[in-house]
Each structure stands twice: as structure tokens, then as C-alpha cells.
Structure 1
Amino acid sequence: MLLPRTARFFVSLAIGIALFLCAAWLAEKWGVAPRVIGLCFLVATIALYAGIGVAMRTQDVVEYYVAGRRIPGIANGMATAADWMSAASFIGLAGAIYHQGFEGLAYLTGWTGGFVLVALFFGPYLRKFGQFTVPELVGERYGPTAEWLAVCAVVLASFVYLVAQIYAVGLVASRFASVPFEIGLFVGLAGILVCSFLGGMRGVTWTQVSQYLILIVAYVAPLVVLSQQRFDLPIPHFAMPQLAQAERAIEERVTFDPAEIAVRAQFQAEADHYRQLLAAWPQSVEPERLRLWERWQIAREAGERPESLRAMEDELRALTKGADSARAFWIARLADAERAALPLRPFFAAWSGQSEAEKDEKRRNFLALMFVLMVGTAALPHILMRYYTTSTVEEARTSTAWTLFFVAILYLCAPLYALFARVELGQWFGTSIEAASHWLANWTNLGLATFTDRNGDGLIQSAELRLSPDAVVLALPELSALPYTIAGLVAAGALASALSTADGLLLTISNALGHDIYYKRLMKAQSSTHRRLLVNKTLLLLTAVFAAWVAALRLDTILLLVGLSFSLAAATLFPTVLLGIFWRRATRVGAVVAMVGGFAVSVLYYVLNHPVFGFAGDTRIWGIDPVACGVFGVLFGFGAHAVVGAFGWGARASDAAFVARMQQPE
């Protein structure tokens, strides 16, 4: 049951959101520039979060670390859902389903299944343990060495995840506030810091409650408006049959359209050309550079289209840098050309691939990714920390049920988002480039869409246009010609999703470093409360700035960065924490071997098989993609615990007592 103060908070926030949306809609009707409306959404939401963060400031250690252990179940469920539904969920999930169809559901099923594991095996037991951080549990169960390793695992997995969130903040701010990407990063960083810096977990919790309400309204609203406009149905899920029919019609038209077939043939010829260049590498580099230089000069004098000139200039720069640079460029171009040469992938096809072997590989990757996301969710430190904030073990179980409910609202809409985007984008195939210029220029300038008029007919063919997975949700209002207020609302929701998760991750990292390392190990629990919180806040600030710098490098897509963080959390923490709670024969030696070995196996597999590192040859095991590298780390971790536990190496008398205490009902 909600406390009166909590209920007033929810009602006031809902009324405030409704009034702001009405004001934005009226401003658009009165001719206010879209950029101004976008800035208003950005400033208003960050001001709201900052206000809550300032109002919830505290100097009490228990309030700062675990919000006083008095957060109601429904509020903790909402905060956990916001903490969980990162930019990967808000921005990336629908994009993955858009591009991968059925195979993209691995993200949805894996993440949702992870909360079942949390409810059964982690949440209640962490609350029963009753301390501040996940490494503390590892330290009490396995000893100080394992605790140090757990801190490293928490910091590393959380940091990779944090970089993805700050990247998303920069992406949203740069598009909807018309500021450079790097400026957007640090504007968002200010919003993140003001939420967590002053109030710790107390401030973050109530900020995340407000962020959940904003992000869920922002995610559902465009679907409701589109469903009502297109099919006269206010509940978008009921429009699925009509959407499926429209998507199949687009697929049939694109597959058999002569212009589409001709463009795909041109891309196939381009792929063959790059394949020949790679076969003759490195001798082919200099002749190709000279040929391309002559072609560029002729094209410039002939007034060739700017995008064609830019493509040739990019290739010339790569070839001028040397043979290795040319090879990497050609490999990337070959992959793009091969993808564009394929017919439009059927959205409802279960497994893609030209042969049974390729389809089997897709099935294995689906299961591997789903497994990693499931156990990674159950081991994510910033999610597990939330179960320290409830008042009782029973309240921890209740909050998990509420979390699943709040998460399901968004996840049940993600496939609809992908399908609406496919249908709305499909309406532009065969139309003129000028007609689409209002949204095409915006997203190509951000690097989230690529378009090349390959056949020079001035029309858009499906093979010529590729929308990044990170752009699907954000671009849908523009693709559908919805009011800019809706686009601004979606941007505010994306910002809320990234900020909410970033708040939790920053707090997790700073608590692990400040509490588990500085306070417990370096100062031997002798530091004053003021100094303790000061160190924690300093570490939080430094971590945030460093993460923003890394995010500015734009190393990978949001979803791949998040997938890596899940693999690292799964490989290093899941076997050790799970067995530490339930298996009395798990030992400190087994924990050290499992965490170090699980991390090493996962990272080695990722580095050897991810194209960004440039290793030649295919060293994948069973065709498993590097994003699911945690599968092998988890298997190694369980195996290490089993072998070491069987021999009893490093066993302590306190191991059995700890497990027995954790199993006692409360």
C-alpha cells in the first residue's frame, strides 16, 4: 500500500507531465520552432531530476548507500524498472527486432527471464544479508581476495554499461537540442551527477521513479497515436494483424520491383570488386588508389552528387594511410555491400540464412545470447543493489514482482515499435529523395542512417537506405510525420532511460570503490562519515567524467556495449554469488579461479572474434558471436567451483554457517 507522501509524489508528477505536454503541443500549434521545443523538453526534464536530487540530499550513510532501507515495494519496483530499462531497452531493443526480426527477441526474453532469476535466487537473500554492496557479500562468504576481485568485476561491468548510457545521452541531446554530440554528452553528464551526487541512493531512487513515468509515457504515446491515426484503434496491440499485412505487402513489392532488383545487382558487383581487391591485397592497394583518384577528379568536374564524392574521399583517405588501413576499409565496405545485395529480409521469418548450416548457427546464437542476458541480468550489480533498499525480505520479493510488471509494459511494445518502423519506412521506398529530405538529412548527419543513390534515379530504394538500430525509436515520429511534441517526448523518454541507468551505475561504481576499497580495506573502517561520503562523491565525479570521455570515442553501438557488460557480469559474478548463497562446498579458492578465469575466457573470446580488433580468421566456437562471450565464462566459472569444491581446496568452517544463515526463513 502506498504511503500518503508517496501517493502525492506520483499524482503531482503525473499532473506535471500532462500539463507540460499540453503546453508543448500549444507552443507547436502557435509556431514555436522545433529546436526550441526540443530544448524545452531537455531542460525541463533535467531540471525536474535535479530538483528531486537536491530535495533528497543527505549526509546520513545509510540513507546515502541504501535509502534508509525504507523504500516501498511498488516504488522500488518502479525505480528498479527505470534502473534496468536503459538506453538499450528504450532505444536499442526495438532497433534489434527491426533488423533481426524474430532473432531480436533474444534480448527481450533474456532480459525478462533474468528478473525471474533475481526474484528466485538473489533479491530476497541480498536483503537478508543486509549490507550495502554485492562485493560485501562475496567478501564475507569467500574472504578479502575474492572481495577485491568482485569489486573489479563490478566496476568493469558497470563501467562498460555506463559508457553506453552516456553515449545515448549525447545522441539524444545532439539530435533534439541541435548541439554537438560532445556538448550533449556533458549536458547529460550534469543531469546524471546532480541526481546521484547529493542524495546517493535516496536521491537516485526517487529520481528513477519520475524517470520511469516519463519514459513509459514517451514509449507508448507514439504507438497509441499511430495506431489511432492509421487503423482507428487506440490500443496499438490490436493493430498487429493490419500491420503484419502492410509489412508483407511492402516485402513483396520490394522483392520484385525491377528498380530494387537492379540496385541489389549493383551492390553485388561492388561486393565482388572488394572481394577481388582483398584477394590481391596488399599489391592491389596502390593501383586502386590511383584508379580512385582519377575517378574522383572526373566525378568532381562532372558535378557528381556530394554523397558520392564523400564516399570516394573516405576510401581515398583509407588507402592513403597504408595497406592495413585499406584492408580494414575494404572488409567493412564488403560487409556493407553484401548486406545491401540481399533481398529485404522477411520480418516474420524465424531464422535468417541461405542454408541449414547458417540457420543452425542463428539458433545457437539466439540461445547463447538469451542465456547470457538472463544470467547477466541476475548478476548486474546496479540491479542487485536495489534489493538492499527495501524494509523487509518480503518487500524485496514484492518489489521484484512490480519490476516485472513495469518492465513488461515497455517490452510488450518493442515488437510493435519495430513493426511500425518497418511499415512507415517502407512507405518511403520508391519516393523522391527530396520528399524525404526533412528526416533523411537529420539522421544521416548524425551517422545513424546511410543513404547512397546507387542508380542515380533520385528515388529511395530499400537497398540504398540503412537505418541504424539506435535510430529506429527516435526517428519513428519523423518517419510518420507526427507532431514534433511527440518527437520531443520520445527524446525525453530516451534521455530518462539513459540517465536513470547511468545514475544507478555511477552509484554502484563509486560505492564499490569508496565503501569496499577505501572505507573497509584502506582505512580499516576508521574514516569519519563526512570524509567517507566526500571520498564517495569524488570517486563518483571522476568516474562520470572518464566515462563521458570514453563515450565520446563512439567505440560501438549501444546494444553491443550493453551486451558486453552483461557477458562480463555473467562470467565474473553469477556463478560465484549464486553458489555462495546456496552451495556450502563453494570455496574461496574456487571463487578466485572462477572469477579470474571466467573474465579471462570471456574477454579473450571477445577480442579474438570482434572485427574491431582486426584478428584474421574465424575462431568462434560453435559459431557463437562475441557479444555472447559470457557463455564460456559462466561455464568455466561453474566448472571451476565444481572441481575446487570437490577437492575442498580453500574450504573454511564459516562457509556452511553462512549458507545455513542465508537459507533460514524470515
Structure 2
Amino acid sequence: MALSHRTGYVNPRLGTYFGIFISAFVAITLMTLILEGLGVGDNLLRHAMLFGPVALYAIIGATASTRTPIDYFAAGRRVPAFYTGLVVAQTALGATGLVALTGAFFMIGFDALCFVIGGLAGFVVMAVLLAPFFRKFGAFTVPSYLGRRLDSTTLRLVAGGILTVPMLLVLAAELRMGAHAVAWFFPISQTLCVMLLVALIVISVAGGGMRSLAWSSAGQSIAALIALLVPVAIVAVIVTNLPLPQFSAGPVLRMVGRAEAAQGLPIILPPALAFDIPGEGLGPIAKRYSDAFGSIGPLAFVIMTLSLLAGIASSPWLLQRVASTPGVYEARKSLGWATLLFGIAMLTIGAVAIFMRGYLTDIVTAVGPVRFPEWFEALKAHGFVTVSSDGRPTLSSFNISRDDVLLSLPIASEMPAVFTYLAAGGVVAAALAAGGAVALALGNILAEDIVFGLSWSPPQPTTRLTIARLALGTAAALAGLIALVAPTDPLKLLLWAIALTGASTFPVLVMSIWWKRLNVFGAVAGMVTGFGVTVLAIIAGEAGLTGTDGALAAAIGLPASVVATIAVALATPGPQKNIMELLRDIRVPGGEVLYDREMRYERRAKAQRP
């Protein structure tokens, strides 16, 4: 099969560069570990583990600055499949997923698998239905693709306005969770933490845009993966003698299951649409880990899986990364890497939850008088856990902070403090990677599709990049303001954003490739209907008017979008011949990048005008 035209060559020294980065990151960790053993003050250890890696990310981003639009918006279309897949997986997970889903697995067990299945299915659907064709088209943003695909600046503006809302929600969620992680290092105000993260994102990304983001976020993703894998692998060796927690947590889970049955943890049979996920703050262990559908009903489990599938597959902050790969083959391959790495991360998160439950189970199953170990008292001192019983504690008498389960495991296993700071630093890295990706995608939409959305002819490169950088800073600052003035649970913000994206964008994106009859009227109607219905469903759900959680709003919004798109498209004139020819070119994997060709035609026509 023919491959798409390549616009750049992959740097053969990338492996060397990131080998140096990994060596520097490991050296910082080992040196801090040695200093801790020598009795150096804890404050110095915190500074080293937070600001050492952050300085590396900032240096990578700042040194990748550029003055050319193709580098700023698409990294020159020469980011290899592995690095693209690594960053896509980490961006989809983000700090919110890394922290909140660990706590969700700990508290509701099996029911949290809907997030795993939905995420993996989203990558598969993106790889099969969307990513290769989006890469062949080569647009820098999703609204630009839709507008050019159906030859409508109105659709471009509508799509840009609609997609701004979920992207602000995701960015606000990442900033809030990243601020929570920074507060693990130093007890400073959330306002200062958010401002620090906004500044770091702008410094790391503004100079080179996608080029800076591609390499700085690759380093951040590697750091986050190391911070997630290393502490739990050490715990697995301590508990099971095997350094593979994803596979060796089974015996611990069986032990936990027997203790849960002996402790009398209830088997809950909720309604089909129940969606009782743990929120911020302290909460009890809700159910037995291995029992299915105790907190999330069977129908809600399916709805959430499909909502995540649609939302992740059509996420503008993820699809944008595909345009930076060298070709269609690499775009497909990058989603394969993303699926693998996302699956490994989610399996590891589940292992963290199992081992943490195992440590608490050891307390309640001990023979004789109950004596809380030192690590438990340390968790209580930090406010990560409380006991609601004055007598002999049971598993149901523990109240755990959802967003501190990941950090609690190194403390519970009595590791050196450096490993606790390593885990916290991994969350900061994840927040910077995901936040940078969303901020850049949102800034590009504001600049390309809102400011210059009424014209297909691009402005001068200097003006174009200046406006894009200003839009990036504006997007990051606005999201920071939302994170401060609307302190909603970051996991809820993420789920609302995914529901809005899936309901408003997924049907139109899929039909723009696979349905020839789609026209601009149907696309606008579908996006507006899906977005509007989903917003109303979220508001009604959170207000208790529908009896369902607002995170399930895509169950109404997505079908409404499909019906509106098809009905309006069939009731209005069909697409013109040039649009049909463009669709035919999109479906052919070989040849020139279509967006670059269209922009060249625009520049040529502009130069020939008197």
C-alpha cells in the first residue's frame, strides 16, 4: 500500500537525546536518595525532586523554539510514531486520570474498569476510523479540517467555539490536579500552585509550539511513567518477590477478597443507571474489590465506556498530535503504541490500588490488640486517612482521600521519602504534559479558527505565530482562572469534557470521512444539537432532575447529534463536486498532504491578485 508523502525526516539522534534525559532524571533521583541517606534536610530533597526535573522539561521546550508555521503547528511533521504514541497515551490519562483513577480503583474496584475499556477502545476507534485520514488531510486543528472538508468558514467558527468549552474544562482539571501534586511538596496556596503551572506550560510550549511540546512532553511522559512504575515495582518485590506488579498482584487480591468477605463488606446491587464514583476528599471503601457493578450499574458501565470511546477518539487535543507524524503509516502505528502504553499504565494503577488495600487489610486482620503501624500514623498526620471506629477497626471504618492513594503507597511500604517525592513529581509531569497539549490545541483553535477563521488564506508567518503564542497564553490563563473560581472535582470536569466532545464532534468527524452525503448544514446541526443537548443533560443530572449523573450525558447528546446530522443533511442540498473530490483524496493514503496543497493554492492565488 502506498504511503503518504513525507514532509520531513526523523532526527536519527532522538534516542541519544532522550537517553541523556533519562540518565539526567535518574541521576537526580539517585543523588537525592543518597543525600537522604546522608541525613540532608527534607526541604532540600523536596526542592531537588520538584525543580530538578521541571528545569529539564523547561530547557527542552525552550531550546526547541521555531519561527516557521509548519514547525510551530505540526513539529515539521517528523515526530516518530513511538514518541507520538507515548505522549498521546499520557495526555489521554493526564494527572487527573493518574491520580483520581488510582483512588477510584482503590474504592470501587472492578467498576472502574469502564475507564480502562473506554480509553483503550477510543484509541482503537481513532486508529481505524479517524487518525489516518486526519493525517492525510494534515490540518493543524479539528475545526480547520471540518471547515476545509466541507468548504465552510461558518462550520469552522462553530466548531472552534464549541470545542473551546470542553478543552477549557480539561485544562482546568489538569491545573487543579497538578496544583494538588505541587502542594504535596510544599504547603503553599492553590492559587500560587496554579499560577506556577500556567507559567511552566507557557515557558515550555510558547517558543516552539508543537515542536516544543513534542519533545518536552515526551520527556514529561517518560518521567511520569517512571514515577508510576518504579515505586509499585519495588512494592511488588517486597510483597511477592516479582518486579511485575501488573501480573503479581493476583495473590494479594485473593487475600484481600477473603478478608473483605470476613469483614462483611456488602455486596451492593445498584440501579442500572447508578454512577456512584468517589469524589474529592475522604471517602470509605465502598464495596468489595472484585464484585462487579456495585457502585456503577451495568447500563451506566456501558454508557460510560461508549462515552469515553467517542470522547477520546475525537479529542481535538489528541487528534492534533497525529498531524505531526511523518505519514499515514506512522499515524496508525502511533495509536498502537498509545494503546499499549495506556494499557500498561492502567494495569499499574490497578496494582497500586490492590497493594494499598492489602496494607490496610493487614491492619484489620492482625491477631491480638490492634496497633496502627508508623506508616498509618504518618498517613493520618498528612490527612490521607481517618478511622471512624473507636473499637477494633474494619475495612469499612477507614476513610481514604481519593487523590492521595497513589502517594500513600510508598509511605505504606515504608520506602525512603524520595520515592514519595518521585511519585508526586510524576503527577506534576503528567499535569504539564496534558496541560501543555490542551493549552496548545486550544490556543491554535483560538488563533487559526477564531481570529483568522473567516479567511482560508493564512496571514504572514510572523503575524500568525505571534497571534498563536498570545492565544496560547490567553488559553492557559483563562483555564487557570476557571480552576480557581470554579473548584469542581477534576475527575468530573474531565468526564464532562469527554461527554461534550464525544457528543458534539465524534459523529460529525466519522461521517465526514465515511458518509458522502454529509453537507455543511448537517455538520453544523449535528455539532450544535449534540453540544446543546449534552450541556442541558449535564445541568439536569447535576441538579438531580433526571436521577442520573451528569457524566452520562453523552447517552442523550450523542444519539441526538447523529439524528440531527443525518436528518438535516438529507433535507438540504447535497455536497458539491469539489467537496466529493476532496473526500476521495482523503481516502487515498498516498500523495501530498491535502492541507499543505490547499494552502499553497491559496498563497498562489493571493500572489496573482492585482
TM tier, smaller: 0.7 to 0.9
- Contact 1:590-1:641 within 8 A present in 2 as well: yes
Question: Is the counterpart of residue 24 in structure 1 residue 32 in structure 2?
Answer: yes
Distance 2:501 2:458 in 1: 31
Q: Secondary structure at the residue paired with 1:86?
A: helix
Q: Secondary structure at the residue paired with 2:264?
A: helix
Q: TM-score, normalised by structure 2?
A: 0.87
| 1:437 aligned residue | 377
Corresponding letter in the other structure for 1:548: G
Q: Secondary structure at the residue paired with 1:382?
A: helix
| 1:387 aligned residue | 322
- Contact 1:251-1:344 within 8 A present in 2 as well: no
| 2:425 aligned residue | 492
Q: CA deviation at 1:232?
A: 1.7
Q: Secondary structure at the residue paired with 1:145?
A: helix
User: 5+ residue gaps in structure 2?
Assistant: 1-8, 267-275, 365-369, 591-610
Corresponding letter in the other structure for 2:178: V
Of the candidates 364, 368, 384, which is equivalent to residue 299 of structure 2? 364
> How many pairs align?
563
- Contact 1:243-1:420 within 8 A present in 2 as well: yes
Of the candidates 349, 352, 371, which is equivalent to residue 294 of structure 2? 352
Distance 1:648 1:34 in 2: 68
Corresponding letter in the other structure for 1:629: A
Q: CA deviation at 1:116?
A: 0.4
Distance 1:203 1:80 in 2: 15
| 1:254 aligned residue | 263
Of the candidates 552, 560, 565, which is equivalent to residue 628 of structure 1? 552
Alignment of 1:475-490 (within 5 A): 475-490=408-423
Of the candidates 572, 575, 579, which is equivalent to residue 511 of structure 2? 579
Instruction: Please give the root-mean-square deviation of Cα atoms over the aligned residues, in Å.
Output: 2.5
Distance 1:641 1:101 in 2: 38
| 1:516 aligned residue | 449
Question: Is the counterpart of residue 111 in structure 1 residue 124 in structure 2?
Answer: no
Question: Is the counterpart of residue 409 in structure 1 residue 418 in structure 2?
Answer: no
Q: CA deviation at 1:528?
A: 2.6
- Contact 1:587-1:655 within 8 A present in 2 as well: no
Q: Deviations over 1:314-364 (max 9, x none)?
A: xxxxxxxxxxxxxxxxxx9xx99xx86xx96211001217xxxxxxx7000
Alignment of 1:133-152 (within 5 A): 133-142=141-150, 143-152=152-161
| 2:398 aligned residue | 465
Q: Deviations over 1:267-319 (max 9, x none)?
A: xxxxxxxxxxxxxxxxxxxxxxxxxxxxxxxxxxxxxxxxxxxxxxxxxxxxx
| 2:197 aligned residue | 188
Q: CA deviation at 1:452?
A: 6.0
Question: Is the counterpart of residue 205 in structure 1 residue 214 in structure 2?
Answer: yes
Alignment of 1:271-310 (within 5 A): none
Shift of the 174–651 alpha-carbon distance from structure 1 to 2, 3 Å rule, reads same
- Contact 2:541-2:550 within 8 A present in 1 as well: yes
Shift of the 425–182 alpha-carbon distance from structure 1 to 2, 3 Å rule, reads farther
Q: Secondary structure at the residue paired with 1:4?
A: coil
Q: Deviations over 1:11-45 (max 9, x none)?
A: 11221122122101101111223333222111012
Q: CA deviation at 1:254?
A: 3.1
Question: Is the counterpart of residue 164 in structure 1 residue 182 in structure 2?
Answer: no
Q: CA deviation at 1:634?
A: 1.1
Question: Is the counterpart of residue 227 in structure 1 residue 236 in structure 2?
Answer: yes
Kindly name which structure, 1 or 2, has the bigger radius of gyration based on alpha carbons: 1
| 2:538 aligned residue | 606
| 2:587 aligned residue | 663
Distance 2:385 2:35 in 1: 32
Question: Is the counterpart of residue 375 in structure 1 residue 310 in structure 2?
Answer: yes
Q: Secondary structure at the residue paired with 1:552?
A: helix
| 1:282 aligned residue | none
Q: Deviations over 1:349-407 (max 9, x none)?
A: 01217xxxxxxx70000000000001101010010001111121122122222222222
| 2:597 aligned residue | none
Q: Secondary structure at the residue paired with 1:451?
A: strand
Shift of the 217–433 alpha-carbon distance from structure 1 to 2, 3 Å rule, reads closer
Q: Secondary structure at the residue paired with 2:448?
A: helix
Between structures 1 and 2, the one with greater helix share: 1
Q: Secondary structure at the residue paired with 2:74?
A: helix
Shift of the 456–10 alpha-carbon distance from structure 1 to 2, 3 Å rule, reads same
Of the candidates 524, 529, 533, which is equivalent to residue 461 of structure 2? 529
Q: TM-score, normalised by structure 1?
A: 0.80
Corresponding letter in the other structure for 1:144: T
Distance 1:492 1:650 in 2: 53
Q: Secondary structure at the residue paired with 1:351?
A: coil
Q: Deviations over 1:132-154 (max 9, x none)?
A: 11111110223122111110122
Identity across the alignment (%): 25
Q: Deviations over 1:98-117 (max 9, x none)?
A: 22211100000100110001
| 2:564 aligned residue | 640
- Contact 1:24-1:37 within 8 A present in 2 as well: yes
Corresponding letter in the other structure for 1:468: S
Shift of the 54–590 alpha-carbon distance from structure 1 to 2, 3 Å rule, reads same
Shift of the 39–428 alpha-carbon distance from structure 1 to 2, 3 Å rule, reads farther
- Contact 2:228-2:423 within 8 A present in 1 as well: yes
Q: CA deviation at 1:121?
A: 1.1
- Contact 2:375-2:412 within 8 A present in 1 as well: no
Distance 1:546 1:461 in 2: 45
Q: CA deviation at 1:97?
A: 1.6
Q: Secondary structure at the residue paired with 2:399?
A: strand
Deviates more, 1:525-534 or 1:147-156: 525-534
- Contact 1:72-1:395 within 8 A present in 2 as well: yes
Question: Is the counterpart of residue 551 in structure 1 residue 475 in structure 2?
Answer: no
Distance 2:37 2:374 in 1: 25
Distance 1:69 1:551 in 2: 33
Distance 1:224 1:401 in 2: 24
Distance 1:509 1:16 in 2: 32
Distance 2:158 2:419 in 1: 46
Q: CA deviation at 1:451?
A: 3.2
Distance 1:649 1:450 in 2: 62
Corresponding letter in the other structure for 1:466: N
Corresponding letter in the other structure for 1:216: L
Q: CA deviation at 1:441?
A: 2.5
Q: CA deviation at 1:253?
A: 4.6
Q: Secondary structure at the residue paired with 2:297?
A: helix
Distance 2:11 2:62 in 1: 22
Shift of the 89–526 alpha-carbon distance from structure 1 to 2, 3 Å rule, reads closer
Corresponding letter in the other structure for 1:365: A
